[in-house]
Amino acid sequence: EVQLVESGGGLVQPGGSLRLSCAASGFTFNTYWMTWVRQAPGKGLEWVANIKQDGGEKYYVDSVKGRFTISRDNAKNSLYLQMNSLRVEDTAVYYCARGLFGSFFYWGQGTLVTVSS
Amino acid sequence: QSALTQPPSASGSPGQSVTISCTGTSSDVGGYKYVSWYRQHPGKAPKLMIYEVSKRPSGVPDRFSGSKSGNTASLTVSGLQAEDEADYYCSAYAGSNMIFGGGTKLTVL
């Protein structure tokens, strides 16, 4: 059974940093693109970033470029999102998802990031 | 890039059919075959209902169908059931990134 379990969310002040993790199991992690998608409270979905199987290609939504870094550790079957210079507008539930081209067949349960003073 | 355009709400009675539209541009919806649709119940993660415009993942009933014409994609839900009441989001590949629609709240009357 495919499982994606996010962790690392919490309350952080504006300008602060947070590192999200996504533990994957039930599939061959190093053969899939992985993605982070977020959803602000009461709002719609927003693609954040994705990363190729070997980590050699990474793409980001414009609003997080230069602040967020997506990475993966295939030996640990884990996906990460390092978030720096956090802003109030980054407050959201962050989901990791498996897939590419928007065909995300599997999602985690999400982890809430709250940026507030 | 701007979000894809979806109607904020849609509704239908049990057993009826409802179609939700998703309008983009030639750089996203109209430019690639990678349009997906997701259903999201409150407090839950999204669930993939349609991918690559019209394909259904295993386990998704054939009451759900997708299509595309030009820069507009559509999701049709036939034989509405109570469990179909949820938020629906379209998404489209746009080169090196992805775009989601603003979401449509489907109410089963």
Check pLDDT > 90 for residue A41.
yes
B65-103 pLDDT per residue, tens: 999 999 999 999 999 999 999 999 999 999 888 999 999
Residue of A nearest to B8 (CA): A44
Quick check: helix, strand or coil at residue A1?
coil
The residue of A1, A43, A101, A111 whose CB has the most chain B CBs within 10 angstroms, and thus the best one to mutate to test that interface, is A101
pLDDT single digits (tens) B12-61: 999 999 999 999 999 999 999 999 999 999 999 999 999 999 999 999 99
**The residue type at A94:** Y
Whether A109 sits inside 8 A of B102 (CB atoms) is no
Q: In whole angstroms, give the CA distance from residue B20 to residue B11.
A: 10
Lowest mean pLDDT among A9-18, A43-52, A96-105: A96-105
Nearest CA in chain B to A93: B45
Contact call for residues A57 and A33 (beta carbons, < 8 A): no
**Residue A75 DSSP code:** G
Could you say which DSSP state residue B9 is in? Answer: E
Tokens representing B90? 């379209």
Helix (H) or strand (E) holding A68: strand A68-73
Q: What's the rounded Cα separation, in Å, for the pair A62 and A77?
A: 27
> Does the pLDDT of residue A65 top 70, yes or no?
yes
Chain A residue with CA closest to B95: the answer is A101
- Pairwise CA distance, residues B39 & B41, whole Å: 7
Query: What tokens were used for B18?
Result: 């409802």
- From B94's Cα to the closest Cα of chain A, the distance in A is 8
Output phi, psi for A66, to 5 deg.
85, -10
- Judged by CB atoms closer than 8 Å, whether chains meet at A47 and B57 is answered as no
Backbone φ, ψ for residue B104 (5° rounding): -130, 125
Q: Where are the alpha helices (DSSP H) in A19-116?
A: none
Contact B108, B14 (CB under 8 A): yes
- Compute the count of residue pairs across chains A and B with CB atoms less than 8 Å apart: 60
Contacts of A42 in chain B (CB under 8 A): none
